[in-house]
Amino acid sequence: MKDVLLDANFPRDAQGRTYHVGTKAGQVANRIITVGDHVRARRVVESSFDGGQALFEFESQRNFLTLTGTVRGVPITVVAIGMGFSLVDFFVRECAAVVSGDLVIVRLGSCGSLSSDAPIGSVVVPRASVGVTRNYDYFHPSTTAEERASGSIEPYTITKPLDCDGEVHDALVRSLQATLPPADPALFGGAPPRALGNITNASADSFYSSQGRQTSLFVDANANLAAVLQERVPQLQTFEMETFLLNHLAAAVDEGAKGGRIRTGAAQMVFANRTTQQFITPHEVDVLERWAGRAVCEALVAIDIAPERLQKEGVWN
Ligand code: DUR
């Protein structure tokens, strides 16, 4: 006989803090920027928050860093989560549990570019994202060479494109374009920084195999993956590892139970160009992060949230 499992529930500590991100009601704003690392999170706060400072800061045991403050009086939270789908899942579910009303979430991250239209130094705002995941059963020892050769099982799963929020997309493109840094001969080979909207992103479950990077150490069956993606996904321009899952959770939220919606978007800084093998320098990263960080803050401030779906009380007042 099988044991009957009880609902494992949603664990919180005695103060109501979630298990991994470690925040509770009043500490996280309705407008959130999520980044991959702590240095970027602090850079956004220093260059864009009122007074260059956060009003609330918490680093969890699991390395999530939450920084909440205001930008021209509007509460904004930056959360550094790390990379990849599973960390996006922890972050969105735990923030949704402690923020009442609407959430507007923008990923400010890096990406690899698949086209010369988006050279290093560009910031790209996707209209939509597809998920690319390794199909584990293709690699299972019981899968036969015939099944692999016939194409009846494919090594990677490519989802349908899932839209970002249209208003978030437009606000991001507008504010990036309004704040374009001037061309500098010492940066990006002298090419002026560019902001590009209306493209499609692919979010992969690996930096390596499902982004078509080649290795001899593992069997990845990905020699033609990038070409297959470019053929099947119109307007595909960037690879990263988070945006698709943000869009998926926004589409999957039960708005009635949540008492609000989740709207998502991304500003993706091109660090690697897969058509030229160029990679950005640390100084160029700093310049891009400050520009894009400020533009994302301004876009979030410009997005309206109905007063009844905005939190009244928090560390910001
Ligand atoms: N990223 C990629 N692929 C690239 C460049 C950047 O996935 O070619 C993003 C996603 C992830 C981190 O957060 O940067 C991995 O370096």
Please tell me the pTM assigned to this model. Answer: 0.97
Give me 209's structure tokens.
């195999």
Q: Residue 207 CA: which ligand 1 atom is closest?
A: 7
In CATH terms, the fold of domain 31-309 is: Rossmann fold (3.40.50)
Q: In this structure, are residues 315 and 55 in contact, taking their beta carbons and an 8 Å threshold? A: yes
Distance (angstroms) between ligand 1 centre and the Cα of 231 equals 22
Residues 6 or more apart whose CB falls under 8 angstroms from that of 312 comprise none
d(CA 121, CA 212): 22
Q: What residue spans define the domains of the chain?
A: 31-309
Distance (angstroms) between ligand 1 centre and the Cα of 279 equals 12
Pocket lining for ligand 1, CB < 6 angstroms:
36, 83, 109-112, 207, 211, 239-242, 271-272
29, amino acid identity: A
SS3 state at 242 = coil
CA torsion angle 290 293 298 299 (round to 10):
140
Q: Which residues of the chain have pLDDT under 50?
A: none
pLDDT at 4: 83
Question: Given ligand 1 and candidates 108, 240, 245, 284, which is best to mutate, with the most ligand atoms within 8 Å of its CB?
Answer: 240
Side-chain half-sphere CA neighbours of 177 within 13 A:
9
Question: Given ligand 1 and candidates 38, 81, 110, which is best to mutate, with the most ligand atoms within 8 Å of its CB?
Answer: 110
Q: Give, using CA atoms, the residue closest to atom 7 of ligand 1.
A: 240
DSSP result, 5-71? PPP----B-TT--BSSS---TTSS-SEEEEESSHHHHHHHHHHHSGGG--SEEEE-TTS-EEEEEEE
d(CA 36, CA 242): 10
Q: In this structure, are residues 246 and 209 in contact, taking their beta carbons and an 8 Å threshold? A: no
Q: Residue 82 CA: which ligand 1 atom is closest?
A: 13
Q: In this structure, are residues 297 and 289 in contact, taking their beta carbons and an 8 Å threshold? A: no
pLDDT at 155: 98
Side-chain half-sphere CA neighbours of 284 within 13 A:
25
ipTM score of complex? 0.95
Using one digit for the tens of pLDDT, what is the confidence trace for 260-294? 999 999 999 999 998 888 889 999 999 999 999 99
pLDDT at 2: 85
Distance (angstroms) between ligand 1 centre and the Cα of 146 equals 34
Distance (angstroms) between ligand 1 centre and the Cα of 281 equals 15
